[in-house]
Chain A
């Protein structure tokens, strides 16, 4: 086996040496100037969103699985009942965005760690970001365009919650 090779972080381009800097090790700076402090902000976001997600997801699991009949109560009417209330719309919207961004950043880190070829990393991240974009837009539209009484071609779909005629 060859000797262990220590590689520079893949999350940012290796910075150029800054001539005349007073830093102790001017050759090594973690953030390349073009990327700013994105990695630090991503690190901070994981911690801040993590705390909020603990509250949002524990609340979600408690209300949907542990109260009343639990999972057997979940059907179209259950969702309609929740999203009739802006409180749960905002709750679910915040959960969607924070969980997707938190998860996407986590998977981005894992791709950076394990995919060694530049092209592999690029393609995995393109797929990841495409999936994230689709899921966030889809989920957001579903929360805000939800219709408790869907009508197709003038006919009410069965199972909907429609006002009495």
Chain B
């Protein structure tokens, strides 16, 4: 089997297309690269969607946490504390065992029939946990940024008669985002790293459709040689990290475009946000 054949057979194996059976023996480098790369689709899926939905929820949470109304503040505080204070690994296990307990046949509410079986699958259940988790981490970052908006900016807004919603939309929110962006980039990178936990934490890989680390682990178990499969995952993730830094760097430049070049914030990768 030539390498191109392998790519055709396994490039979308993680989604269930192509060859049914995984390779059994004589594992080639090409098979390693193709299957692990195919698994990376899931990492990108989990990371991108959780990040996208989490962004909005995190904004809401940060505002709730900064609010003076304790009915808003307390729940947000607790939510952030629970998700930041406990291991993601345990959160996955907990969510899975909770979702499994839902009635198999579905739930009937007000005559509506809601099927439940899809919730225990990784694409939905794990995505939901990652969404909540990244929301909590990002909310803490946004909250910190909201607190460090320069007083002068708000006073200037007052002086111009900008208040209420338009003050938030035009002054507070863009500044918050600008201040939070370097830390948020870190959060995004480590969220993508955290997606490798999904298939090791209870969620089953249906028909061996797993993520990059799932396939790397498969190869390492079969060949009993960790020196090929794991460096390939590492390689893919380094590429992914660079792509993220580039993409977030573009946004960062846009957020800082009105500032003189010497006080623009630069994105520095600080590995301090692992969960």
Do A and B bind?
no
- A residues bordering B, Cβ < 8 Å? none
Which residues on B are within 8 Å of A, measured CB to CB?
A: none
